Amino acid sequence: MTALPSSLLLVGCGKMGGALLERWLGNGLRAAAVTVVEPQENTAAALRERYNLTVLPDFSKTGDAPQVVVFAVKPQVMEETLPGYTGLGGSEPDAGPLFVSIAAGCTVESLARHLGTDAAIVRAMPNTPAAIGHGMTVACASPSVSEDQRVLAAGLFTAVGAFAWVESEDLLDPVTAVSGSGPAYVFLLAEYLAQAGVATGLDEDLAQQLARATVSGSGALLEHSDETAAELRKDVTSPGGTTEAALEVLMAEPGLRTLLTEAVAAATARVRRLSS
């Protein structure tokens, strides 16, 4: 059983925030321990009906501070969101909550400008497969984060998939480019694979089914195999066979490796501009 907080404030409940919330509740976090700040009334009403949660349009500093505050709003609105949480929990050491941000490009330093230089802050980058418990999250912690709070943060994200710490915050930029944005690259592969099937004469529905099952099945095989991706690729590639003919195209330069390298570099550059 992963460690989950006794009280949690979730700020923003869009697709990623909602996916995390569903997994947390499914892994034992009590609905009574959760408060959600969600200004979109349609979303708020759906959350109340589905989970019987306390959902507020905005936050007011009343009562005890939650053990954990998770910011799941878009990076573009973080600057206007954070001032409402300044001073939350008081100024005594270890008295405040653990603040967790999943906003791409929002640095620990930028968060601390509003939350306090001594605030316990974890910056994390999950990805969308968290919605089905197969996410990948990487996080870094500010110096004020205690060991117990690190356990709490790890518990939140192991509840939705794999988790790793990095000591250098700079590494979260390429992490965002590889795993945060990575599901879109995989979905694009499935999209283009289906289109290629149609171009060679397959019915569109069958091509879609083949691409979807091939990508999802290959991912599951990679997850459960002890072999590397390169080894699995070689296993399915017979000399002189059809797979080899296709790979000769994909692996030629400039080919898929160059395109992915350039894509990840572009995404890394974009997230660094967001943080500047």
Q: Looking at residue 135, what DSSP letter applies?
A: E
Are 91 and 124 in a shared domain?
A: yes
Q: Which positions ≥6 away from 227 have C-beta within 8 Å?
A: 235
Over range 66-83, report the average pLDDT: 93
Give the pLDDT of residue 64: 77
On whether both 216 and 149 belong to a single domain, the answer is: no
Q: Read off the pLDDT of residues 2-16 as tens digits, 9 standing for 90 and up.
A: 678 999 999 999 999
- Domain assignment present for 218: yes
Co-location of 251 and 222 in the same domain:
yes
Tell me which of 144, 172, 200 is where a domain ends. Answer: 172
| DSSP calls for 190-238 | HHHHHHHHHHTT--HHHHHHHHHHHHHHHHHHHHH-SS-HHHHHHHT--
Per-residue pLDDT, averaged over 204-215, amounts to: 98
Residue (of 168, 184, 136, 177) closest to 270 by Cα position: 177
The pLDDT, as a whole number, for residue 96 is 82
Q: Are residues 131 and 251 in the same domain?
A: no
The CATH number given to whatever domain includes residue 101 is 3.40.50.720
pLDDT of residue 62: 66
- Written as one string, the DSSP assignment of 146-178 is -HHHHHHHHHHHHTTEEEEE-S-GGGHHHHIII
- Position 92 pLDDT exceeds 90: no
Q: What is the pLDDT of residue 218?
A: 97
pTM above 0.75, yes or no: yes
- 1 part of a folded domain: no
pLDDT value of residue 154: 97
Given a cut of 80, whether residue 112 has pLDDT beyond it is yes
Kindly indicate the confidence band of residue 203, based on its pLDDT and cuts at 50, 70 and 90.
Answer: very high
Q: Do 201 and 67 share a domain, yes or no?
A: no
Given this model, what pLDDT does residue 34 score? Answer: 96
pLDDT in tens, 187-202: 999 999 999 999 999 9
Count of domains forming the chain: 2
42-51, 58-67, 150-159, 260-269: segment of lowest average pLDDT: 58-67
Mean pLDDT of the chain: 93
**Does residue 204 fall inside a structural domain?**
yes
Of 172, 190, 213, which residue constitutes the final position of a domain? 172
Task: Please identify, among 109, 138, 172, the residue that sits at the C-terminal boundary of a domain.
Answer: 172
Same domain flag for 196 and 254: yes
Say yes or no: 200 and 167 in one domain.
no
pLDDT at 180: 95
Residues 50-66 have a mean pLDDT of 86
Question: Looking at the domain assignment, is residue 3 inside a domain?
Answer: no
pLDDT of res. 65: 84
In a domain, 24, yes or no: yes
Q: What is the mean pLDDT of residues 64-93?
A: 84
CATH code (residue 194): 1.10.3730.10
The domain of 136 spans 8-172
Give a yes or no: residue 177 inside a domain.
Answer: no
Domain annotation covers residue 2: no
pLDDT reading at 226 higher than 60? yes
Percent of the chain having pLDDT more than 90? 86
Same-domain pairing of 141 and 202: no
